[in-house]
């Protein structure tokens, strides 16, 4: 089986990817979404989960929010080093949502407006802070304010994921996530069929 396995910080990322991935991935690739109970739980368990994963041809993406970490690159390098401890080859990809998953949503207010059925959100897209929301200190608070507290993290992440524009360039971290998914998709599609069917 050709599997793309996501190790995720929380349930909201799983909800978003459940509705986003069918619009990206080839039907021959099975996504497996494994949410953890926050970033500490993710980092505590991820090496063991990667190491013990039975399908030797699965590809992995570890995804978490930057939150209060001062530097995305240092955080990413630290997580990559941890992934290397699993001995898994190729080493899993690490993707950081700068600063939070909600940055992806603020970069695509068309998707938020449609998903939440709130008229008038799109007109805010040209505001300076929403042209590059990866630099906002608290995207989740911004989204709560923008939607007048109408945003619910898990259920709305699932709805928004159905409408996110996969070619959106406003959030560099979203763009990097999509590029990483497509890269691993190609790797999986190029696997010889016999190898891909190993247990």
- The per-residue pLDDT for range 64-91, each reduced to its tens digit, is 999 999 899 999 999 999 999 999 999 9
70 plus 11 within the same structural domain: yes
User: Is residue 166 situated within a structural domain?
Assistant: no
Identify the domain containing residue 23 by its residue range: 2-99+171-196
- 11/49 same-domain check: yes
Predicted local distance difference test score (pLDDT) of residue 154: 97
42 C-beta neighbours (distance < 10 Å), count: 21
Where residue 31 falls (left for φ over 0; alpha for ψ -120 to 50; beta otherwise) is: beta
Decide if 92 is inside a domain.
yes
Global pTM value: 0.94
Number of independent structural domains in the chain: 2
Do both 6 and 85 map to the same domain? yes
Distances (CA, A) of 28 to 3, 135, 193, 198: 9, 36, 11, 15
| pLDDT class of 193 with cuts at 50, 70, 90 | low
89 and 9, same domain (yes or no): yes
Indicate the SS3 state at residue 5.
strand
Q: Examine residue 83 and state whether it is found in any structural domain, yes or no.
A: yes
Question: What's the average model confidence in pLDDT over 124-131?
Answer: 95
Residue 93 sits in the same domain as residue 30:
yes
Asked if 60 and 30 sit in the same domain, the reply is: yes
pLDDT bin (cut points 50, 70, 90) of residue 199 is very low
Does one domain contain both 119 and 35? Answer: no
Task: Report pLDDT digits (tens) over 88-126.
Answer: 999 999 999 999 999 999 999 999 999 999 999 999 999
pLDDT-based confidence at residue 194 (cuts at 50, 70, 90): low
The terminus-to-terminus CA distance of the chain in angstroms comes to: 7
95 and 188 part of one domain: yes
Residue 198: per-residue pLDDT = 41
Q: What is the mean pLDDT of residues 152-168?
A: 97
Residues 47 and 95 in one domain: yes
Is pLDDT above 90 for 164? yes
Q: Note whether residue 117 is domain-resident.
A: yes
3-class DSSP state of 103: helix
Q: What value does the mean pLDDT of the chain take?
A: 95
Residue 107, sorted as left (phi over 0), alpha (psi -120 to 50) or beta, turns out to be alpha
Q: How many CB atoms sit inside 10 A of residue 26's CB?
A: 11
Same domain, 28 and 61: yes
**95 shares its domain with 185:** yes
User: Rounded CA gap, 155 and 150, in Å?
Assistant: 11
Non-local CB neighbours of 108 within 8 Å, separated by 6+ positions = 160, 163, 164, 165, 168, 170
Q: Are residues 123 and 86 in the same domain?
A: no
Strand partners, 8: 35, 63
Residue 71 lies in a domain: yes
CATH of the domain at 86: 3.40.50
């Amino acid at each position: 089986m050709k599997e793309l396995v996501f190790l995720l910080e929380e349930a909201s990322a799983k909800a978003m990817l459940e509705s986003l991935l069918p619009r990206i991935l080839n039907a021959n690739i099975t996504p497996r979404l494994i949410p953890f109970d926050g970033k500490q739980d993710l980092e505590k368990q991820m090496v063991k989960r990667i190491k013990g994963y039975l399908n030797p041809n699965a590809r992995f993406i570890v995804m978490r929010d930057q939150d209060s970490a001062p530097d995305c690159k240092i955080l990413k390098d630290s997580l990559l080093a941890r992934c290397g401890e699993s001995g898994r080859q190729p080493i899993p990809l690490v993707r950081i949502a700068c600063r939070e998953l909600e940055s992806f949503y603020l970069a695509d207010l068309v998707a938020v407006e449609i998903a939440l059925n709130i008229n008038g959100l799109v007109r805010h897209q040209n505001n300076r802070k929403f042209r590059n929301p990866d630099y906002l200190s608290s995207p989740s608070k911004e989204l709560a304010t923008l939607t007048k507290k109408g945003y619910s993290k898990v259920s709305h992440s699932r709805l928004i994921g159905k409408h996110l524009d996969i070619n959106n360039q406003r959030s560099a971290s979203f763009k990097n996530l999509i590029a990483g998914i497509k890269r691993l998709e190609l790797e999986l599609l190029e696997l010889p069929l016999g190898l891909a069917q190993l247990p």
